[in-house]
Each structure stands twice: as C-alpha cells, then as structure tokens.
Structure 1
Amino acid sequence: MAMETSTSLPEPSENLSQQMETDGLMRVSSFPRRRAVNKSSSFKAPPRRQQSFSREIGHAAAETYLITSLSFKLLSYLGVGYRWITRLLALALYAMLLMPGFLQIAFQYFFSSQVRRSIIYGDQPRNRLDLYLPSNEDGLKPVVAFVTGGAWIIGYKAWGSLLGLQLAERDIIVACIDYRNFPQGTISDMVNDVSQGIDYICNNIIEYGGDPNKIYLMGQSAGAHVSSCALVQQAIKESRGDSISWSVSQIKAYFGLSGGYNLPNLVDHFHNRGLYRSIFLSIMEGEKLLEQFSPEVIVQDPSSDKAVSLLPHIVLFHGTTDSSIPSDESKTFVNTLHRRGAQADLILYDGKTHTDLFLQDPLRGGKDELFDYVVAFIHADDIEALARDAMGPPRRRYVPEILLRLARRVSPF
C-alpha cells in the first residue's frame, strides 16, 4: 500500500519504539503441540483440546487491540498528508466492500480447531506465527512458510488466513510468520524475525504433523521482499561456512508473489506512489544499505557464486497491471537468476493487479490459476494427493462478484 505524509520524517524516538514493542502479543498458543513422530510411521495426532468461547473472544479482542493501537501510533508518527489521507479513505472503502468475506474468514480464524494462533518462535513481541492444519491427520504434510505483505508498515500474520485456510483444505500445512513492522523495527529486524520464524518451522514443524523435508517458503508483496532477503542471506551464510540453525537445503522451493527485489529501482516509484523517500529510506536503514537488502543485486555479485548454487527452485508470480510493484521487478530478477545459473520460473497474469492475485481472486472462489499451480507444484510427487485435489470440491465464494469489481476499482494498492 502506498502511504504519504505532508512532513519530513523524523527518526523514530526510543520511547516510541519501546512503547510500540510493549503492544505486541506475549502469549503462546494455548493448543498443545503435536508429538514428534517417525516419518516412516503412520501419523495420528492426539485429540485436540477445545478452547472456551470466552477465551476465544479474549484472544480476538487482544489481536484487535494490537492492530488498532499500532495503526493509531503509526498515524501520529507519520502525520496526515492530504494524498495519504485519501489513500487511507480508499483503503477503508475497499475493506468495507470486501467485509462480507473478511467476516467469514475472521470467524474461521478465531474459532476453527484447525488454526493454532500466536505460537512463539522468538523473544521479540511480534515473534509469533499462526498454523493452519489440515483436517486429514494421516501422514506428514508438506508445509508452506508464508510471509505477509503490508508495505513494511501494516503487515500482520492474520493477513495470510485466507491462503492458510484454503491450502489446509488441500492437505498442506501453512505457517504464517509475523514480524516487526516499521516503526517497531527496520528492515534488518524484519529479515532477522522472518529468518528466525523459518528456523522454528524447520526444526519444530514435525511436532505439528509437518514434513521437515517438504518445506516451501512463500512471500507476498513486502513479504516477498523480506522472505527473499532472508533466503539469500541464509545462503550466503551457509556458503561461507558460518554457524547456522537452519539450512537453505531444507527449503524445497521459493514462491514470490508480487514482490520487489531491487530496491534502488523502486525508490522513485514508491515516492510517486506516496511512500515518501524519507519514510522508505528510514525503513531500509538509509540509501547506502539499499543494495544490501536487494536480492537481485546480491546474486549479481560474483562473490555470491556458491550462495546462488545453494538456492532452491524459485518461482515468481506477478500481475501485468500491478501499479504498486511493477511486474518488471519479477522479470528482471528471474533473468538475473537465469544468468547466474539458478533455477527460476516467471509466471505473469495478464491484466491482474497487486491485489487480484492475493485477495479478489481467492475471495471469488472456484478455479484459480495461481492457487492450482502452487498446489500442483507442492503435490507433484504425491499421486494420491493430486488425485484428491482433482476430485475436491471447488473453493467457496466469499464475496459477491459486484462487490469484488467495485473493490478492484477503488483499491489504493
């Protein structure tokens, strides 16, 4: 989302950062973990303990408070420029039009026994992740570690709930990783948080019925940028022989949806979109570090030859009419990866916008090319799973078509 302020951006105050960190959720999921099992054995989870209705309401209230408090603190921090306010109003109208779907998803998120919320993976307030578990508990399941977008400012793990719920219906576990946003943290904090979340998944997912040998990393928008940074930086550490707690070899493939991978090329674009240069450079810790947090630039460096050879299969998805992050970002990154000898694919969706692929199309239900591709890719070596996918019912529609079309027209993204 492009955002704007009418004043120059000051440096975040220490008090503000400390105050915002105290607003993070400090709770671990109240559901028990699944027990570790031998992969060769048939997996059967222990009976799940149902939470009380009052506890669920309390959890929902706490999550709502977190989002609301961070939004107001961010508003007071950024100021209220005219163009920024118009985009905020457009966002409010966009959300209202899609509210019928959001309410249904929120109900499933808070009350489904298949969702394990706010599992702690680190010691920072936002170091939490949500797990979406398939109802079929036979055998170990493939896992998608998903990193949500939000312009590095308004990202939140629950934004991935629709994807998590729908992939869980296809026998795929989804772990949505939360991470500190600006001004709680800057880009290095975000990358560190996501890397720590991946570490937790790689080393603990078997306890929830996940297959540690079938982990896929996926990010959307700003989440695609942050997760790709985490992946590339981990490959560099591994190539140097540094001490690591998770290996790039544990990631079977990387899926990047509508992401940006070359920050120097995006500064002016974001500035014109309302994410002012001063704000963006503060998020990215200054102009000198833009290349350090640009996966495309990093892999071009000849010194990264060994790191590039460690990267998993990379698949990038992008809509051709994406005005938030141009599709050229994915095109040039894939071309660079090809030149450097990495395995990479680019899938473009003609006429699709920044939100079509992640929101409008999934809310529409039925067949979805991107969703079907990801599911088929993950289940490619499982004939039985592919057969179940082919016979499965079409995905449900959450929002009437007229509201989806109106939302697409007013979208600020």
Structure 2
Amino acid sequence: MAVPADRLRPVVKFSGQGIRSDEDSAESRRLLSSRLGAVKPQAPRRQQSFTRDIGHAAAVTLLLTRLGFTLLRSLGVGYRWVVKLTALAVYAILLMPGFLQVMYDYYFSSQVRRDIIYGNQPRNSLDLYLPTNTDTKKPVVIFVSGGAWIIGYKAWGALLGLQLAERDVIVASIDYRNFPQGTISDMVKDISQGISYVCKNIADYGGDQDRIFLMGQSAGAHISVCAFLEQAIKEAGKEESVDWSVSQIKAYFGLSGGYNLLKLIDHFDSRGLYRSVFLSIMEGEESLSKFSPEIRIQDPSIRDVVPSLPSFVLFHGAGDYSIPSDASVTFVETLRKAGAQADLFLYEGKTHTDLFLQDPFRGGNDELFDQIVSILHAGDEEALAKDSMAPPKPRLVPEILIRLARMVSPF
C-alpha cells in the first residue's frame, strides 16, 4: 500500500516471513501497552440440559431460516448471489474440521455460558467465555461479530473467546438484530444495551471492571464504534438515558472495519451488497453520514467529545478486498486530527478472513492474537510472563484445506 511511513507511526506490518516494522516490534508493543496503562470470585453457573440445547438450536435455526427467506426476497437470487452462496458453502466445508472442534467446545465446554439475556428484544443475548483460573480479577473483552450487517451471530466469536479464555481473559460476545430483523439503529441500540449489561454485571463473573475493552470485527467494528460514539455524545449532553460510560472502556479494538459509509457504498455494491439493500440497512442515504464514525467525529458540535475517548487500536489486512485497508488508514488519521489516541497495525497480504479465521485455524504463533493479549495484560507482569511461556496453539485445519478455502472465499 502506498501509505507514507511518516503518516501513521507506529505502523507494524506483518508478513508470512515474520515482522517488518519501522520500529522494533517489542518496543512498539511496550509503548502501546504502557499507554493503556486477592479476590476469588465464583462465576454463577446455570443448568443446561441436552433437551434445552436442542430446543434452542432448533429455535435459532427456524428464526435464521425465516429471516434468510425474507432477505432473499430483498436481494433477489441473481447470478452473483448464487456464485457467492456457492463459494461460501465450499469455503465452510473446507474449514469444517476447525468449525466442528470449535462448535464442540462452544456447546460442551464448562467455560462457556451461553444465551445470557441482556435486553427485551429478539436476539438480545450474549455468550461469556470464562477462564478456568479464578484467582484474580480478569480483563474483559466485549466482542461484536461481523457478518455484513446481515448474518452476524454471537457464536462467530467462539474461536476468539475460547482462545482468550485460555489466556485468562473473559470474553462477552454480544448478539444483535441483523437486517431484515432490524436496521442500523436497532443494531447500535442492541450493542449499547449489551455493553451496559457487561459493565454492570461482569464483576459477578470475575471480571475486572477497570479493564474492560470493546472489540468489533468487520461490520461489528462499524456497529460497535457507532454505539461508542453515540454514548459519548449522550454523556456530553448529560442525557438521562445514559446507563454506562465510555470511561468504563479502557480501549477500543477495531478489526477489518469500515468507518466511512459514503466511501464504501459503491465498493459494497460492486461486491454484491447492492446499493438498495445497503441503504435499507442504513435507513436511507440521508443517514449515511450519521452512521459514519469517520465523518461524525469531524462534527464541530462534538469537538470536545473526541479527545476524551479511550485509545483506538485498529488492525487490518493490507490484502483485504471486502473492506479495503484504506478504511482503517483514513479513520486513524481522522481520529488523530480530532485529538484522539489511535494506532494502526497493517498485515501485509492478509485478507478479510485471514486474521480472524484462517490464521487462528493454523495454530502456532498468531501475531494479531499476541498483540491483542499484550495490550490486555499491560501492567500485569505475572500475566505477561505467563503469556511468554504459553505453548503454541494447536492446528485445527490442515494447511492444504486452509489454502483452498482462501482461494474460494467470497469475502
């Protein structure tokens, strides 16, 4: 990418052969971690029966099937969508060895608390991934999955949640209404309610209320940062509806996100998310600026809000064709001009799904994962020492299947 090195420092670029950086990787991590700065809680347990799990799975399947038909009526079944759906099916089959292992742990691991209700709307539930070690309070990641605002689901965060739980991090993966069940305002409202629930209740599960991080991936990155900014604006206006504070979030992580819808609408249309459907999701063309965080933070009326926000840390693959990495580059630049703290990590050659699926399925050392953990454990010398001795993650999918899946991926 043609991004001048002096525009976005520190920028760390990763490749398959290792790390290439304008600054030493360890030093970059140290600087970023330093910027972010004997209770034994017992996590509540709830009884889960096999019958209940089967019933819940059937209900979710029925709901998603019904919404799928509604969506197809909106999209139409043209050549482009037939090709993409076929590619998605082949992609999923190739990575099935990994998906099956993750699904087994998701349904049967004692570390997972599924379907915790946080609101009164459909799909207002979240999953918790809890460490086995409860000696101390743990950092917390509130995770919002992607899915093109259409197929997002909390279980998409299972792989990340299980792996972070092994590193003594609690993960709360929030579900939310997708289109056509809801539009962008509904999604932002759901995520805000989910964040509020976690902030209020995570201490009951052993979470450290002083170390709560918000993370979104793809469309989830967009929705979560919209909710984040909306909350900051509410606080600045001292609205009575404020029931959680952005000051409770230690940092925001954005993975492969899009933050300026006006710049992306034509790109999405060319890739099959047609303009008419996208505008329906975003509540019309007149709402694109409102739900574009990059544009919103330049509004003079909220000039005093942005500098008070916690740090933004963005991650993006330079080979991402679903949401080009320029989306993160320009957002970081805009954040810095507005007075916010922001850092960007680009990964050379990585696609939209490499960072979130293919690389974790490979096992071994995962640079993105290690970078996130180093920030989560910043200031905790014991946890950092434990991280340094952690064994490499096991491989879940043979390399040949990962390479083939990458070739057919519709993302």
TM-score, scaled relative to structure 1: 0.88
Match of 1:70 in 2: 67
SS state at 1:134 partner: coil
Match of 2:76 in 1: 79
State the distance in 1 between where 2:338 and 2:142 align. 26
CA contact (8 A) 2:127 2:173 kept: yes
Match of 1:146 in 2: 143
State the distance in 1 between where 2:290 and 2:133 align. 43
Which of 213, 229, 243 does residue 245 from structure 1 map onto?
Answer: 243
Equivalence map 1:273-312=2 (5 Å): 273-312=271-310
Match of 2:53 in 1: 56
The amino acid across from 2:91 in the alignment is: Y
Deviations 1:322-378 (A, max 9, x none): 000010000000000111111000000000000001110111111011100000001
Match of 1:363 in 2: 361
Equivalence map 1:201-350=2 (5 Å): 201-243=198-240, 244-350=242-348
Report the Cα offset of residue 387 of structure 1.
1.1
The amino acid across from 2:102 in the alignment is: I
Deviations 1:100-148 (A, max 9, x none): 1111111111111111111110010111100000111112111000000
State the distance in 2 between where 1:378 and 1:360 align. 23
State the distance in 1 between where 2:185 and 2:43 align. 39
Match of 1:100 in 2: 97
Match of 1:12 in 2: none
State the distance in 2 between where 1:198 and 1:90 align. 34
State the distance in 2 between where 1:46 and 1:170 align. 17
Deviations 1:154-192 (A, max 9, x none): 101001100000000000000000010001111011001
State the distance in 2 between where 1:397 and 1:58 align. 32
State the distance in 1 between where 2:361 and 2:164 align. 14
> Is 1:134 the equivalent of 2:115?
no
Do the aligned partners of residues 280 and 47 (structure 1) sit closer, same or farther apart at CA in structure 2, a change above 3 Å counting? closer
State the distance in 2 between where 1:46 and 1:127 align. 21
Report the Cα offset of residue 66 of structure 1.
3.4
Q: Which runs of 5+ in 2 are unaligned?
A: 1-37
Do the aligned partners of residues 396 and 70 (structure 1) sit closer, same or farther apart at CA in structure 2, a change above 3 Å counting? farther
SS state at 1:266 partner: helix
Do the aligned partners of residues 47 and 283 (structure 1) sit closer, same or farther apart at CA in structure 2, a change above 3 Å counting? closer
CA contact (8 A) 1:320 1:327 kept: yes
SS state at 2:257 partner: coil
SS state at 1:213 partner: strand
> Is 1:407 the equivalent of 2:366?
no
Question: How many aligned positions are there?
Answer: 373
Identity across matched positions, percent: 70
Q: Which runs of 5+ in 1 are unaligned?
A: 1-40
Do the aligned partners of residues 363 and 66 (structure 1) sit closer, same or farther apart at CA in structure 2, a change above 3 Å counting? farther
CA contact (8 A) 1:50 1:113 kept: no
State the distance in 2 between where 1:241 and 1:53 align. 47
Match of 2:153 in 1: 156
SS state at 1:217 partner: strand
CA contact (8 A) 1:104 1:398 kept: yes
